[in-house]
Chains A and B, each alone.
Chain A
Amino acid sequence: MRIITALWLRNVKLFFRNRVQLILLLIMPFFYLYLISTIFKSVSIDDSISYVLAGIVIIVVFQTSLNIATSTIEDITSGYMKEVLVSPVKRIEIAIGQMLSSTTIATFQGILILIIGYFIGMKYSNLTTPLAIICAMISIGFVFSSFGLFLAASVKNAQTFQIISVAVTTPITFLCGVYVPLSLLPNGLQFLALLNPMTYATAFFRALSLEKLSLPTEELITEQLAFKVSNFIITPQLGMVIVSLFGLLFIVLSTLIFSKVDFTKINRAQGNKDIFQQ
């Protein structure tokens, strides 16, 4: 427990020390909010600002958890990991420390955006809603942290990693209904969006933060919070179950891979010389 806490604290500290990044991360979402809320007005979504903001919050949680989970490993493979690896620290402790810290940072950012969002019109009628929102951010953050850790530990080479990480994150980001309404997508891409766990995470999070979880199904579908696949309807709640299963799978996979991977073969540092092959 002590090691997990120490590793967690290290990453959180590192995040807060980078002030420029902190400020940029706060400004960018509102730039997007301004940009996309007009698009969403055009697809008959009332209260488009709150609708879009909720989406942005969850996509920020997604991006941050994924980024931190992958970049902390990179940062560590730059040399520091060797210090950790020759110590009696267990691999699983490193993995858990990484996932917890990226979840924490992601959730923290989500909360900051929501606080600012409150002043531009995101109101809750029920007091439990903010609490439920935080819990949702934590679980979604944890799901994608483990996914990020899985990616980071399974790709060995620096260049391949960049390509793969773009190839994976771009479709997840753009095919989940946050930046582009799903109804505006061509049919093929709409189908792909339904395979994207982030689609369900977004829908659930929106329904939760707009307090629309109990709306009738018809309305949920027009608001693009529930999805109809032939005759089967995926409600936001069911969506969250899907996301959780996806998360569970990757928590298991990432800890397994992370415990087994030979870090001496991961070469993310600049230059091609493998320091271990002297």
Chain B
Amino acid sequence: MENMIEVKNFVRKYGDFTAVDHVSFHVKNGSIFAFLGPNGAGKSSTIHTLCTITEKTSGTLLIDGKDVTKDKASVRNVIGVVFQDSTLDNKMTVEENLKMHCHFYHIPKSKMDERIEFVLSIVDLIEWKKAMVSSLSGGMKRRVEIARSLLHFPKVLFLDEPTTGLDPQTRANIWEYIIKLQQERNMTVFLTTHYMDEAEICDKVAVIDHGKIIAFDKPDVLKKKYTIDKAFITSSQPKKLEELCHYFSLEYEKNEDVFTIELTQSSDIMGLLNGHRDSIKDLEIKKGTLNDVFLEITGRDIREG
């Protein structure tokens, strides 16, 4: 099956409020997909419906070819979920939490210990097996949750803001685990985030705002489409640089001796650099980020227009 997740015309209303408004997208088998958007954009509503715990208002949602509203049991068997807020049983130990999960997913009793060791080794928490969940730090709890969601080897892993509130070190580690697993097990990963750098490593990104998908593509393509690269040049001969800019017909802004030049492609500046080689005191080229994409699409200009 090529598409692990298929969503067509999905609508979710809470009373009069439309949280998700005719959203359609698909996620290829084995890829990492990110939902990018501000709080209240409809990310969690979509994840909850895909995870079978809230009902859709209308539309079709398929996971692994199965309808999430009609065939809940089969969908639940193939998904692993890490929610935005902790769903660990605080009054139990790490091991007890993981064992409960094994029971829920009918993992054979003979394989339970082996699996628990395996997932705990992925997140480096083997020594914490007997620890009470309530005694763990926020980052460790998150790692336990990720370990737990992997126990039954899901085909699709849902991560609802998996690293929010964690320190950069823990975030980096968690990402390392996720990517490793995704590659080893050909798992499909669906995540929501508002960290732009996390969205960058995904295969495809959907930018969602006010319940609508406003952009859906590869991060590179989005960046190319919605952002421009910028070169910052500090010159010892500003006059000459100005002339060169005119010659190559490049848009620029000048602030004392620092030039900000907008580029459609980074290579556009090669000619200018060659001609100005001896007078460049400092050069920096900035690529557009998904952050810029987001600003560009959801910025005030677009809303007003």
- Pairwise interchain contact A6-B100, C-beta atoms closer than 8 A: yes
B205 adjacent to chain A (CB < 8 Å): no
- Pairwise interchain contact B53-A264, C-beta atoms closer than 8 A: yes
Distance between Cα atoms of A3 and B107 in the complex (Å)? 11
- Pairwise interchain contact A88-B44, C-beta atoms closer than 8 A: no
Contact flags B48-78 to A (C-beta < 8 A → 1, else 0): 1001111100000000000000000100110
Which one of A14, A80, A88, A278 contacts B105 once the chains associate, using CB atoms below 8 Å? A88
Distance between Cα atoms of A88 and B42 in the complex (Å)? 25
Which one of B14, B87, B148 contacts A82 once the chains associate, using CB atoms below 8 Å? B87
- Pairwise interchain contact B106-A276, C-beta atoms closer than 8 A: no
- Pairwise interchain contact B77-A14, C-beta atoms closer than 8 A: no
Number of interface residues of B (CB under 8 A): 37
With a cutoff of 8 Å between Cβ atoms, the chain B residues found around residue A275 in the complex are 84-85
Interface residues on A, range: 20 to 34
- Pairwise interchain contact A17-B105, C-beta atoms closer than 8 A: no
- Pairwise interchain contact B89-A80, C-beta atoms closer than 8 A: yes
- Pairwise interchain contact B103-A79, C-beta atoms closer than 8 A: no
- Pairwise interchain contact A2-B106, C-beta atoms closer than 8 A: yes
With a cutoff of 8 Å between Cβ atoms, the chain B residues found around residue A85 in the complex are 52-53
- Pairwise interchain contact A86-B52, C-beta atoms closer than 8 A: yes
With a cutoff of 8 Å between Cβ atoms, the chain A residues found around residue B105 in the complex are 87-88
Distance between Cα atoms of A230 and B227 in the complex (Å)? 88
Which one of B44, B53, B99, B106 contacts A278 once the chains associate, using CB atoms below 8 Å? B44
Which one of B55, B84, B106 contacts A88 once the chains associate, using CB atoms below 8 Å? B106
- Pairwise interchain contact A89-B89, C-beta atoms closer than 8 A: no
Shortest beta-carbon distance, A206 to chain B, in Å?
36
Distance between Cα atoms of A264 and B49 in the complex (Å)? 11
- Pairwise interchain contact A87-B54, C-beta atoms closer than 8 A: no
A10 adjacent to chain B (CB < 8 Å): yes
Within 8 A of B (CB), among A247-278: 262-264, 275-278
Distance between Cα atoms of A87 and B101 in the complex (Å)? 8
- Pairwise interchain contact A277-B106, C-beta atoms closer than 8 A: no
Shortest beta-carbon distance, A170 to chain B, in Å?
29
With a cutoff of 8 Å between Cβ atoms, the chain A residues found around residue B81 in the complex are 82, 86
Distance between Cα atoms of A87 and B76 in the complex (Å)? 6
- Pairwise interchain contact A278-B89, C-beta atoms closer than 8 A: no
Q: Which of B39, B51, B104 has the most CB of A within 10 A?
A: B104
Distance between Cα atoms of A2 and B39 in the complex (Å)? 39
Contact flags A75-91 to B (C-beta < 8 A → 1, else 0): 10001111111111100
Contact flags B94-118 to A (C-beta < 8 A → 1, else 0): 0010011101111000000000000
- Pairwise interchain contact B73-A88, C-beta atoms closer than 8 A: yes
With a cutoff of 8 Å between Cβ atoms, the chain A residues found around residue B79 in the complex are 86
Chain B residue with the shortest CB-CB distance to A85: B53
- Pairwise interchain contact B91-A17, C-beta atoms closer than 8 A: yes
Which one of B40, B54, B73, B87 contacts A276 once the chains associate, using CB atoms below 8 Å? B54
- Pairwise interchain contact B53-A88, C-beta atoms closer than 8 A: no
Q: Which of A13, A81, A86, A277 has the most CB of B within 10 A?
A: A86
Shortest beta-carbon distance, A275 to chain B, in Å?
6
With a cutoff of 8 Å between Cβ atoms, the chain A residues found around residue B103 in the complex are 2-3, 6
- Pairwise interchain contact A80-B87, C-beta atoms closer than 8 A: yes
With a cutoff of 8 Å between Cβ atoms, the chain B residues found around residue A277 in the complex are 14, 19, 45
With a cutoff of 8 Å between Cβ atoms, the chain B residues found around residue A83 in the complex are 87-89, 101, 148
Shortest beta-carbon distance, B12 to chain A, in Å?
10
Shortest beta-carbon distance, A4 to chain B, in Å?
10
- Pairwise interchain contact B100-A79, C-beta atoms closer than 8 A: no
With a cutoff of 8 Å between Cβ atoms, the chain A residues found around residue B77 in the complex are 88
Distance between Cα atoms of A262 and B56 in the complex (Å)? 13
Distance between Cα atoms of A13 and B95 in the complex (Å)? 14
B183 adjacent to chain A (CB < 8 Å): no
Distance between Cα atoms of A277 and B12 in the complex (Å)? 11
Distance between Cα atoms of A201 and B199 in the complex (Å)? 62
Please, could you name 14 A-B residue pairs with CB atoms under 8 Å apart, sorted by A? A3-B103, A13-B96, A17-B91, A82-B83, A83-B101, A84-B104, A85-B52, A86-B51, A86-B79, A88-B104, A88-B106, A275-B85, A276-B53, A277-B45
- Known contacts A6-B103, A89-B104; 18 additional CB pairs below 8 A are A3-B103, A3-B104, A6-B99, A13-B96, A79-B85, A80-B87, A82-B53, A82-B81, A82-B83, A82-B87, A83-B148, A85-B52, A85-B53, A86-B53, A87-B101, A88-B104, A276-B54, A278-B42
Shortest beta-carbon contacts, A-B, top 10: A278-B44, A87-B104, A6-B103, A83-B87, A88-B76, A82-B87, A79-B87, A86-B81, A80-B89, A86-B51
Chain A positions within 8 Å of B, measured between CB atoms, are 2-3, 6, 10, 13-14, 17, 75, 79-89, 262-264, 275-278
